[in-house]
Chains A and B, each alone.
Chain A
């Protein structure tokens, strides 16, 4: 079975996926219409920001979740109208299913009414978080 074809196929596919993965992590994806469920302070376990709220879903087997939490907590500390909530996905499965969270970290960006306007999967860059918040009016 000394064929190099499977190895070459795996490497080509993995490189293509890897490039897409690297580019897409942290990217803010806007929802076409903000018509999802309305999240309240009670559901997310933190008060809503007067302008926006970032809700991060994390899990146990996730290295970038810690870094994302540290970054977002640091950023909201400097913003009076934006709040941050952190949710353990595994212990909130009903909410996870309702919002269709598939990977961690996933950060939802909510408007002042508590409705999701978009989300980012993976650790965002500072500039990506600022752009996402600026997109919320």
Chain B
């Protein structure tokens, strides 16, 4: 929960704008990977998604392999006038995804299938909602978390 501890003034100084279509494309790929992982409970697929989420959470959403695929193969096909967005909201969503993916991985490694099913379901729901409905996870849960943990 590193992201939660960052003060808002501190992070306001380093606002990084990225192509807003990148995170949406990444969410679609994440949906495919998580959906397959939910059906197969494949440890390899869960591990791959853990690594992708970790890069997105710690380095940034524009540094993941999915963002690379977007830049290399999808972006050239799209309109040149790219809508931009602050990279922090998708980075926050990647951090939440990482938490659930790590729990799922632990469930797979210690043979607790129910844990895998539940945590992958939650991560999949968030990724799918982001891809299909432009759902903003940070908008809906960040303030609730701050209200719960900060006095």
Residues of A within 8 A of B (CB): 1-4, 6-7, 9-11, 13-15, 17-19, 21-22, 59-66, 88-91, 93, 96-97, 101-105, 122
Q: Is the CB of B139 within 8 A of A60?
A: no
- Report Cα–Cα, A105/B11, bound state, in Å: 18
- Report Cα–Cα, A11/B136, bound state, in Å: 17
Name B1-47 residues within 8 Å CB distance of A: 3, 6, 8, 11-12, 20, 35, 38-41
- What residue in chain A is nearest B125 (Cβ atoms)? A14
Interface of A is mostly: helix
Q: Is the CB of A61 within 8 A of B147?
A: no
A-B contact pairs, 15 of them (CB 8 A): A1-B113, A3-B39, A7-B38, A10-B124, A14-B125, A14-B129, A18-B132, A59-B8, A60-B88, A61-B137, A61-B138, A64-B139, A88-B8, A90-B146, A101-B143
A103 and B139 in contact, given A1-B41, A90-B8 (Cβ under 8 angstroms): yes
Query: 17 extra interchain contacts, Cβ-Cβ under 8 A, other than A61-B3, A61-B137, A90-B143?
Result: A6-B39, A9-B121, A11-B128, A18-B135, A21-B133, A22-B133, A59-B146, A60-B88, A60-B92, A61-B138, A61-B139, A63-B20, A63-B139, A88-B8, A89-B143, A103-B139, A103-B144
Residues in A whose Cβ lies below 8 Å from that of B144: 102-103
A104 and B139 in contact, given A14-B129, A21-B129, A91-B8 (Cβ under 8 angstroms): yes
Q: Is the CB of A1 within 8 A of B125?
A: no
Q: Is the CB of A97 within 8 A of B147?
A: yes
Q: How many residues of B contact A (CB 8 A)?
A: 42
Residues of B within 8 A of A (CB): 3, 6, 8, 11-12, 20, 35, 38-41, 85-86, 88-93, 113, 116-117, 120-121, 124-125, 128-129, 132-133, 135-140, 142-144, 146-147, 150
Residues in A whose Cβ lies below 8 Å from that of B91: 61
Q: Is the CB of A93 within 8 A of B150?
A: yes
The distance from the CB of B69 to the nearest CB of chain A, in whole angstroms, is 21
Residues in B whose Cβ lies below 8 Å from that of A3: 39
Q: Is the CB of B133 within 8 A of A6?
A: no
- Report Cα–Cα, A89/B133, bound state, in Å: 25
- Report Cα–Cα, A76/B132, bound state, in Å: 32
- What residue in chain A is nearest B137 (Cβ atoms)? A61
Residues in A whose Cβ lies below 8 Å from that of B137: 61
The distance from the CB of B127 to the nearest CB of chain A, in whole angstroms, is 9
